[in-house]
Every structure is written in C-alpha cells, then in structure tokens.
Structure 1
Amino acid sequence: MKTLILGFDSFDPAVFERMAGQNLLPNFQKFANQGGYSRLDVCSPPQTEVSWTSIATGADPGGHGIFDFVHRDPATYAPFVSILPTKKGIAGEQFVPPYTAKTFFEEAAALGYPATALWWPAMFPARPELPVMTLPGLGTPDIRGQLGVGTLFTSENETKPKTSVAKLEPEGRNRFTAALPGPQTAGREGPRTIVLPLSLEVIDGKLARLTIDKTQVDLRLGEWSEIVELKFKAGMLLNIHAITKFILTSLNGTVRLYALPLQIHPAHTIWHYSSSGSFAKKLWNEVGPYLTLGWPQDTTGLEEGCITDEQFLDLCAKIFERRIQILLHLMKNFDEGVLASIFDDLDRVQHMFFHDRMDIVEDWYKRLDRFVGDVSAKVEAWGGKYRYLILSDHGFSDFRKKAHVNRWLDDNGYLVMKNGGNDLSGVDWGKTKAYAVGLNSVYLNIAGREGQGIVQANDIDGLLADLKTKLSAWKDEDGNTVVEKVRLKHEIYSGPYTRFGPDLLIGYASGFRASSETGLGKVPAESLEPNRDHWGADHCMDADIVPGVIFANRDLTDFGGISFRDIPFLAIGKHLDQSHLKPPTQAAGEGQKNLEERLKGLGYL
C-alpha cells in the first residue's frame, strides 16, 4: 500500500470548475481530463473539525461524536469546546482526545504500514498508544490552553475586543518597555500570569530592535520576524517553552508591535503535542521551525486591525511554504503506507476575502495548482501501484447576514428569558422548549435528559415538526430564505454518539450563517443582523450548498456519487469497522467566561 493525500481545506468546486474552464488550473485539470475529479458530498454540519473527522473515519458525527465547534452538558446547559475537551484528575485539568473512532490512519498501521497525518484537525492531544505519526491541526491550543489570540504592544491607550493589549512605556529617547503575558500558574492567591519583560529600541523610521528573554531581534517595519523561541519560568524546576513571531506595524507617531499567540514548542512541550514527540522534534531540527497553533493564520489579528491585509497574506504564505517543505522532506523516504497533509491557508484566505477580493482568492487557487504540479511530478516518478488523492472538506459561500437563533426561538415562543439575561444562564428553563448552542445546532429541553427539561417524550415529534416548519419559513426583510434545510438527527446520524447530538441541524441558505453569539449560547436583541466583519464568507451553511472536491489518480466516473463515507476505501482499499466503540460519556461543561476565553482565537466565534 502506498497512498498520498493532499487535503486543501475549503477548496470550492464552483471556483475550481469556473477557473478550470478558463484554463487557469492546468494541474488540477489533468485529473479531471482523465476522469479523476468529482464533487464530494460532505457531512452535516459542514464545519472543518466535523468534516475532516468524518473523512478520516468514514463515519458521520453519530459515529465519532463531534457535532459542532461547541457542545453542551445537558445536565447543566453549560457549553464546552468540542475539539478541546478536558477532564479533571489528580494532576489537575488535562486535555483528552476529542474522539476515539478508528481512522484510516490507524487501520493502515494495524495492517502493518506506516501512517502519517500532518495538520489533521481534532488530533490534539496526541495518542501515544497509536502507531500513527501526527502533527495536529485545528484544535491545537496555545500555551495557555486556549485556541489563541495575539498581543498588541502600543504606545497609545488602546483596547481590542479579543486581542490582548500591553502598553509600551517610554524609557528614554526612542526606547520602550513592556511585558509579554504568558501562561498561568497556580499561586497562593489564585492563578498567576507569568510575564516576560521586553524592550524595543527604535533605530530609524523603518527599523527597531526587540530584546526579549535574552534574545535580540531586528525588526523591519511591516515584516514578520522568524520564529522566536521563549522560555517562561514557572517554578524552581519548571520552564514553559513557547514560540511566536513578531511584526513591527507602526513607527509613525504611534509605535506598535504585534506578537502572534504564544504557541507550543514542539521540542519542549508539557502536553502530548505530537505522536511521537521525537517526530515533531526531528522535523523541527531537520526542516526548520514551524508554528504549532491549530489556527496559526491570525484572522483575529486581521479582524481587529492589528495587522494589515498584506501582512496577513504574507503570514499565510510563510506557513504554507514551511508546510510544503515538511511534506516534501517526508516524501523523500516515503516508500509505503499512508502520508496525508492538510493545507488550510486557503480556508483562512477565503473567510477574509471571498466576499470582496476574489482576485486574492484566485491567486491562492493558482498557488495550490502550482504546488500540485510539483507534487505530481514527484509522484509520477514512483514505480508500481499507488493511490494519490486530493480532497477538501467543504466549499465556500458568502456570509452577508448573521442569524441570532436564540433570539428567533425567543420571538417564536420556544425560549423564554428571565429579566435581564442575555445568555443561557438567563434562560427560564421551566418555560423553555428549545435552545441553540453551536453554529448549526438546536436542542430540545427534554425532560429526563436536560437538567431542567420540560418537553415530554410524547411531545418531541410534534415539537420537532413544528420547529422544522417554522425555521424553514424564516425570511429576512427582503424576503430571502434564511434556512435552506432543517435536518433531524435521527434522519442523518447513526452510531453510539447520536443520542448526544443536537436534535435539529440548521442548514443555512447561502449568504446566512449563525452568529458567533448563537455559537456561544447568547441571546442578542435582534434575530438577524448585517455582517459587516472582515470575515465575510463561510461554509457553516447547509451541506448541499458547500460540497467539497476529490481528485484521484483513478477514474471516478464509474464510482457514482462520492461522499465522506467513501474516503477510507479510496485511501486504503477498505471501509472501517467502528463496532469497537464503547458507549461514550459526556465531557463536563465550562463556564461562559472560560468558554469565551478558550474560543477567542477561533474566528467563527
């Protein structure tokens, strides 16, 4: 067995087909000319962490247990992050794997072949007991255990909604000092934030010298530094290592310096970052330093004006190039097994530019096409039989209006708030029939399941039918349909986790998506709101609106409709047996404040 898989997050079939028709993507078109292209039916909901997990397992969320970015604890209604679950033990709070369903990587390893997964979502923390080499993707936290926000250092008094802001204090002429906040440790009076002092010396109008943790870095205005290694002293015998990049964004009057989120150092990690640990360290030493955050392309920094469009795109390009170098390095000695790599820069670029700068988006499709040409040239030199797949987890669409689902539920009598409440903590559960948490999920307040449930078993089907009818009829002020399709969980899911999933899946129409407030269980004042964010496009709509793609070095025309369920067979020649799964237990919820802190760096929320 020899299988190479390239995963291009959010590669959209409509964009490909249009550009290929203009002869702009010749290397992808070669596959199509030989019958090796098809649209890919993706799971519901078409969220990144859900879809890639379904592709890896061949199972829908009922079989692997990841239904949305945010789940809830039915006993307390407390939301928690699905891709970064935790449990409390003797050693304190620890991260646990978000799912245990078998992947085709595990199956290949069980057959005696080496298997490697690079930047695949929902693979943090690593599972050392599995013989699969991994570098995790989406879901990998920063050193604070959150999904990661950067730090803005500024000589002015500024605030940002999510980004941490630190004041640059003048110390003499053209010299400033500040402190970089790092991880938290337990102190006698509660959690204590460890900081690293830094100084910034302005040399001229385009150059400054940063000194931090005994390291000096010369920064040119508007240019990213190389990866900087830092060390926070957490105790007498404990140091917490981190990595980041800095960029000097202003020297004209106001001095501004920006740092990416503090990320896990793959050679010095306190958590199970990769499997095995030596694999990550070896790549660091042999190829070069690489960012480790699950969402390293800093959309939050761009959204909040900490960096410019050009600086964001430059960051994406640097991440992409280093990942290419790592993949090509591994391909040199790839003789058998499965080697798969996810490239997610296109997803981040489309979130920020799909709605108004299609020229930038098309440039990235051309960039991917050139990369495919380079890889294909190496693959075609292989002898013998092999499988070569290129696929995406979903497509893309405009996101013009935000849907505040809990407000809609309130307006239509399904959810009742106490006076003054604006999130789930303010809900009158004794009068509430349904509530929304996550970007596509609606739950019934069922008696015996929810902590304060009131919906009786014989009323469930009627309530679901009523909700489905009314949600399907939801329109905006211009008469546009908000919801493309409402799906019931028993219609689309199977497997032991189904009972933990949402009762209704809202598939939004093109142009609409749940608001971040809905994802967090909040209840704003209006049911619909124009989206004026830089983040102007998305994929968390109805799965039929945003299909993915698959390219293969085989004829796909006789395969019929291809879905995520078929990928294990196409990758390793067999479907996976998930019958080993044990009845799952629920993770505990977390408070609203903790949830929002942990999710700050995830642009969706």
Structure 2
Amino acid sequence: NVPHLVSASGMVRVLLQELRPHFRMYVSPVNIDPRDPAMPISTPPDYAAQLARALGGPFSTLGMPEDTKALDHGILSDDEYRHIADQYHQELTAVLFHNLDHFDGGFLFHYFGDTDLGSHMFWSAFDPGHPMHGRRDKKSKDAIYDYYRNLDRIAGRVMKYLGPDDTLMIMSDHGFAPFYRAVNLNTWLKDNGFLGLTNEDPEAEFFSNADWSVSRAYAMGFNGLYINEQGREGGGIVPPGPEKEQLLRQLQGMLLEFKDPETGIKPISGVYRASEVYSPRHRDLAPDLVIGYRAGYRASDETALGAAPLAVTSVNERKWSGDHCVDPAQVPGVVLCNKKIKARAPGLRDIAATMCARFNAPPPGTSRGKNIL
C-alpha cells in the first residue's frame, strides 16, 4: 500500500519477443479494465462491463491502443506491430457486430483506425520515393492495402444487416500524403527575424529560450502560427490592428515563397487566415495563420513542441512516414453512402447536418453544414 494513493484495476498486453540469447518482452501501456473501470469510460457507466461480459472477456480501452512509438523506436518489428494491431482490430470488429446484433433502431457510429495508423506507419514500406523505403521490411509493402481490404470485407458484412430504409455512411475526415521531409518553422521564423532567442539550444522546448521582447511571431502545434500580440500573449509586442495585419500579410507572402534549401521545393502550398478556417464562435482561440504544407512535407515534432533546431528542414527517417497534417486541399476525405449523394462537394461539416435531417431533428443554430442526401 502506498499512502495517499488508491488501488485501481488495469490490464497490459504482453508479447514475448525473444528467449535466447537475450530475454525480451514487450509490455503495453496500462489499459483501464472495462470489467472494473477505475473511472467512467462509457456512457452509461456500466456499459463497458456489460460489453466485456457479452464479448467473453476484456478489450483494449486506450484511446489509441496501437503503440506507434514502440514501432517507431524499434521496440516492435513491423510483424510484431501488425500482429498486435490485428488483435485490436478483431476486438473492434467483435464490438461492432455485437452492437449490430442487438441494434433495434436509431443511430450507430463505429470507428476503425486501421487505415489511419496503418498509413502513418507503413507509407514508406510501399512508397519507393520515401527515404526510409530501403530500410523497411519488404513483407510490409502491402500493409496499407491489407488494412483497406479488411475494412472492405467488414463493410460487406455490415450491408447484410441493412433494411430497405436504412442508411449506411462510410466516411473519413482526411486522406493521406507522404511525409518525406520536416520543416522546422520556428527555425525559419528565427532566421527571418520574426522570433528572437536567448540562445540557440536546438533541444530547448516549449519556447524556454524565446526572447519575447523581440519576437513578433511563433509556431506551435503542427499547423499553427501565432502573432505575439499585445494584450493577448503575456509578452506580446505587436499591437492589434494595422500593424498586426501588415505582419500577417508579410508572413503569408514570405512563407509561400520559402524554398527548402536542400531540395529547392516550396514546402508550403497554402497559408490561411483564421477567418478562412474557423467559425466565429471560438476563433479567438485559433492560430492567427494555419500553415498548409505541400504533400511530402510536414511540420517537425520540434515545431509542435516550440523548439527551433539548427536546420530549417530535415529528412524524415522515422517509420511514421505518412501524414495528413498538410494543406487540406491535398488530402481530401471521402464519404460513401448507400443513398444517392446529391451535394456536388460534400464536406465534413455536412455530416452532422445530414444526420440531423435523417432523424428530422433541427441542426444546432451554429451549424454551417447542409444535408447531402
């Protein structure tokens, strides 16, 4: 017993990797046990335990149980990762068809992440143009296709449950692009005089070496660029109004002309104002500019964490080799339906409006979507 702490039930998945000459065993992160959850993980709260009983045992409860970091850092091989991911897929499939077997009307949503995480982790295995291609297991070259084939078979099974008036919609909120090279956007801002540093420690994170007294802009997250605005940021120096507007125009123009010094390619294909991307309701929380990277490029992890490495671009040598944090025009999603789609250019915001229309429910007053059916 540890004072001031409570006991909680948890589960791990174990994979014996090697006995000789060295013992190696992979242990997953701890999952909340759905049979005895330490905190509510379902609505209603007892549904998780009911589901575990119905399925004959526990199931993974992590939000993203596939351990992409373990694959990225060589703790898991391609085969081992796929083996574990297939087990998660089987769990999700069992949940889906259990729910369909007991479904008596209404709305059912089910999420599979196979194609998303599979495309992140195995893009370089099938793309000869990726710098990691020659270092991937050749058996993994069809992994992404396998994930799509599996989901296609599941879609066929689901269709057998449909009645004549039932609507089946299959959708993704984005497509995918290769991730060949990373952009260190804070480094670009520093090199062009927009971000001041107290020192050039390439490993400093969370702007610990930023000099806010001379910094006019900074990048945070994968696609966000912010103005260091007076009255908003703690050390803001750029007055809101004409001066900020002039700075935004300057940044937009310079970023679109920026070329990767190693390849000569322009890594950025679009730079969008918050007013172009976000609804007014929460726009004050949004980045001032949203950076749309060209397919093949993405912001570096260091950029997301507020760091400024020495080089402005770098080769992506990770197994995380495909991505969608790019210009949305280059990675459109998809919507498939067993009913005729009447809208010419359906968008993600239309899905909620369409669902409301199917159930004769008025959409929220803030909704900007339309019924696509």
Work out whether the TM-score is over 0.5.
Answer: yes
Matched, 1:488 2:268: no
Contact 1:433–1:445 under 8 Å retained in 2: yes
Matched, 1:271 2:39: yes
Contact 1:402–1:530 under 8 Å retained in 2: yes
**SS of structure 1 residue aligned to 2:271:** strand
Pick from 315, 323, 333 the counterpart of residue 530 of structure 1.
315
Pick from 349, 363, 366 the counterpart of residue 576 of structure 1.
363
Shift of 1:565: 1.4
Distance 2:239 2:6 in 1: 53
Match of 2:298 in 1: 513
Per-residue CA deviations over 1:59-86 (Å, capped at 9, x if unaligned) read: xxxxxxxxxxxxxxxxxxxxxxxxxxxx
Shift of 1:490: 1.3
Shift of 1:575: 5.9
Shift of 1:495: 2.9
Match of 1:22 in 2: none
Shift of 1:569: 2.6
Distance 2:5 2:234 in 1: 44
Distance 1:527 1:511 in 2: 15
Distance 1:522 1:266 in 2: 39
Pick from 246, 252, 255 the counterpart of residue 23 of structure 2.
255
**SS of structure 1 residue aligned to 2:208:** helix
Shift of 1:418: 0.3
Distance 2:41 2:258 in 1: 44
Pick from 18, 30, 54 the counterpart of residue 286 of structure 1.
54
What does residue range 160-559 of structure 1 map to in structure 2 within 5 Å?
A: 234=2, 238-287=6-55, 288-357=57-126, 358-379=141-162, 382=163, 385-421=165-201, 422-423=204-205, 424-457=207-240, 458-476=242-260, 477-556=262-341, 558-559=342-343
Per-residue CA deviations over 1:110-168 (Å, capped at 9, x if unaligned) read: xxxxxxxxxxxxxxxxxxxxxxxxxxxxxxxxxxxxxxxxxxxxxxxxxxxxxxxxxxx
Shift of 1:271: 2.7
Distance 1:552 1:579 in 2: 25
| Poorly superposed stretches of 4+, deviation over 4 Å | 233-237
Contact 1:405–1:514 under 8 Å retained in 2: yes
Shift of 1:378: 2.0
Shift of 1:237: 8.7
Distance 2:252 2:170 in 1: 36
Distance 2:172 2:224 in 1: 23
Q: Give ranges in structure 2 of 5+ residues lacking alignment.
A: 127-140, 368-373
CA distance 1:342–1:510, shift in 2 (3 Å): same
Contact 2:124–2:319 under 8 Å retained in 1: no
Per-residue CA deviations over 1:315-355 (Å, capped at 9, x if unaligned) read: 11111111111111111121211110110022111111112
What fraction of aligned residue pairs are identical, expressed as a percent? 33
Contact 1:234–1:240 under 8 Å retained in 2: no
Contact 1:260–1:298 under 8 Å retained in 2: yes
**SS of structure 1 residue aligned to 2:40:** coil
Q: Give ranges in structure 1 of 5+ residues lacking alignment.
A: 1-232, 581-605
Shift of 1:236: 8.5
CA distance 1:237–1:430, shift in 2 (3 Å): closer
Name the structure with the higher strand share. Answer: 1
Contact 2:356–2:363 under 8 Å retained in 1: no
Distance 1:333 1:302 in 2: 37
Structure having greater relative contact order (Cα 8 Å, sep ≥ 6) = 1
Shift of 1:356: 2.3
Contact 1:389–1:571 under 8 Å retained in 2: no
Per-residue CA deviations over 1:217-245 (Å, capped at 9, x if unaligned) read: xxxxxxxxxxxxxxxx5558931111110
Contact 1:402–1:513 under 8 Å retained in 2: yes
Per-residue CA deviations over 1:359-414 (Å, capped at 9, x if unaligned) read: 111111111111111111222xx2x5222100011110100001111001000110
Number of residue pairs matched?
344
Superposition RMSD on alpha carbons, in Å? 1.7
Per-residue CA deviations over 1:463-520 (Å, capped at 9, x if unaligned) read: 0000001111111132212001000101221132101110000010000000111111
Distance 1:550 1:240 in 2: 41
Distance 2:112 2:182 in 1: 28
Distance 1:405 1:578 in 2: 37
Contact 1:566–1:575 under 8 Å retained in 2: no
Distance 2:12 2:316 in 1: 31
Distance 1:364 1:579 in 2: 36
Return the TM-score normalized by structure 1.
Answer: 0.55
Per-residue CA deviations over 1:416-449 (Å, capped at 9, x if unaligned) read: 0002553302100000000011000011000000
CA distance 1:508–1:579, shift in 2 (3 Å): closer
Shift of 1:255: 0.8
